[in-house]
Amino acid sequence: MADIIVKNAYVLTMDPDAGDLKNGTVVIEDGKITEIGEKTSESADTVIDAKHSVVMPGLVNTHTHAAMTLFRGYADDLQLADWLEGHIWPAEAKLTADDVYKGSLLACLEMIRSGTTSFADMYFYMDETAKAVEASGLRASLCHGLIELWNEEKGATDLKEGKRFVRAWQGAADGRIKTMYGPHAPNTCSEEYLAKVREEANRDGAGIHIHLLETEAELLAMKERYGKCSVHLLEDIGFLGPDVLAAHCVWLSDGDIEILGKRGVNVSHNVISNMKLASGIAPVHKMLEKGVNVSLGTDGCASNNNLDLFEEMKTAALLHKVNTFSPTALPARQVLQMGTVNGAKALGTETGMLKVGMKADLIVVDMKKPHLTPCFNVPSHLVYSAKGSDVRTTIVNGKVLMDDYKVLVLDEQKVMEETQKAAEELVARVNA
């Protein structure tokens, strides 16, 4: 007998060989998808009737700082340097482990509610984020942020903690947790330090998550310091490869795009954060043309200000249309692919597609809504009209985390109240 059957659904498989099923069934057993078809002869403990709904792969958020939910709306409408160095970093200096646990748990709750089933995170006190992932049932690739700032002692302390974390949590929570190394950025870590991190990652067989050419200021600082940009520096020290996840990638030259494509680097496009901080417009259409794996990320809640990937998909589709003066740029299916298939590839997980043998990370989107009526084209609705709050059911690793809008794994009211309190106390400490 199977564990879960989702029936009567429009099945958006995102599998190019299978296409969509207008009225289909997905069968789940032992955490995996075991059958997809018109109907099934199987029976299951849990049968989900997905009438008037779409079942699709869960969305993948490839760049965030989950615990930054604590800073949602805390420092808006500021220059990036002022925002980060004048507001966020001083506030982060007052963070406690418990704050990070609460902020991460709120992020997990928000992701479950808005259809995100896995995410990549870079922050501090990462044991706490890992515990929140364990408790919430989500899937995640986590790393401790390494911010050397040319201070050898700080660099060494950060790297030691990063390594401890990589080894402590790799494969934890039934394999839902993966760990990575997290050098913050090429303009906050020295060349020697980045090379060292690459070596450690090779030794541990772990990937690397980094911010890359987010701002023009980074590009100018790199040119001044090294006479070359961040991508060329990383290329020259043998840093780049298919296990690298690079967030932002806004200030790329055509030559940089060639290098990222050639090395198989995964890019996390954070369109809303880039717009809010006025960082610029990443050359996404050019990257896709050159075969770069471009996925989607929200960045932290201090620069977004939420974790809703449906908003991210719509904004990406619209921005690149107006930026290229081409309404055919980034069509709905391609954006959905960035949010699912490409995200899963970036994290190296067997998810992102509804296909037999793949891990069962999927969501059910309620289409019986005024803003989704009538419905001629499902992918178009998912990108241009749907919202994260239309997700009614979220399943990760074959476990139902939210069933018909009811979150089963967390006490929603308690999480909100406790995080609200922790955020207020944190800000009081910052202002003291």
Ligand X SMILES: O=c1[nH]cnc2c1ncn2[C@@H]1O[C@H](CO)[C@@H](O)[C@H]1O
Residue numbers belonging to the annotated binding site for substrate: 92, 184, 214, 299
Query: DSSP per residue over 327-393, as a string?
Result: TTSS-HHHHHHHHTHHHHHHHT-S-SS--TTSB--EEEEE--SGGG-S-S-HHHHHHHT--GGGEEE
Asked whether the beta carbons of 112 and 409 are under 8 A apart, the reply is yes
Convert residues 252-291 into a mask of x (bound to Zn ion by CB under 5 A) and - (unbound).
----------------------------------------
Residues annotated within the binding site for Zn(2+) are: 63, 65, 211, 299
Which of the residues 130 through 149 are near ligand X (CB under 6 A)? Answer: 145
State the residue number with the nearest CB to ligand X.
Answer: 145
DSSP SS3 for 112: helix
Q: Which of 137, 207, 300, 398 binds ligand X (CB under 6 A)?
A: 300
Give which of ligand X, Zn ion, none residue 222 binds (C-beta under 5 to 8 Å, depending on kind). Answer: none
Q: What whole-number distance in Å separates Cα of residue 236 and Cα of residue 62?
A: 25
Q: Residue 233 has which token pair? A: 């520096």
Separation between Cα atoms, residue 401 and residue 76, nearest integer Å: 32
* Binding residues with ligand X: total (CB under 6 A): 14
What character string, x for contact with Zn ion (CB under 5 A) and - otherwise, covers 328-367?
Answer: ----------------------------------------
Q: Which is nearer to ligand X, 68 or 378 (CB)?
A: 68
Using CB under 5 A, which of the segments 85-93, 133-141, 299-307, 382-390 binds Zn ion?
Answer: 299-307
Contacts of 59 (CB under 8 A, 6+ apart): 114, 115, 116, 117, 296, 309, 310, 339, 340, 343, 363
Shortest Å, Cβ 40 to ligand X: 44
Q: Judged by CB under 5 A, does residue 299 bind Zn ion?
A: yes
Task: Find the shortest distance in angstroms from Cβ 393 to ligand X.
Answer: 31
- Are the beta carbons of 351 and 344 closer than 8 angstroms? yes
Q: Residue 230, interface with ligand X (CB under 6 A)?
A: no
Helix (H, G, I), strand (E, B) or coil at 267: strand
**CA-CA distance, 141 to 208, in Å (whole number)?**
10
Q: Which of 66, 67, 88, 346 contacts ligand X by CB under 6 A?
A: 88
Verify binding: residue 84, ligand X, rule CB under 6 A: yes
- Give the residue among 244, 250, 246 at the shortest CA–CA distance from 267: 246
Burial of 421 from C-beta contacts in 10 A (0-12 / 13-18 / 19+): exposed
Q: Of the listed pieces 24-32, 292-300, 321-329, 369-377, which binds Zn ion according to CB under 5 A? A: 292-300
For residue 334, the partner it binds in ligand X, Zn ion, none, with Cβ less than 5 to 8 A by kind, is: none
For ligand X, the binding residues (CB under 6 A) are: 65, 84, 88, 92, 122-123, 145, 184, 211, 214, 273, 299-300, 303
For Zn ion, the binding residues (CB under 5 A) are: 299
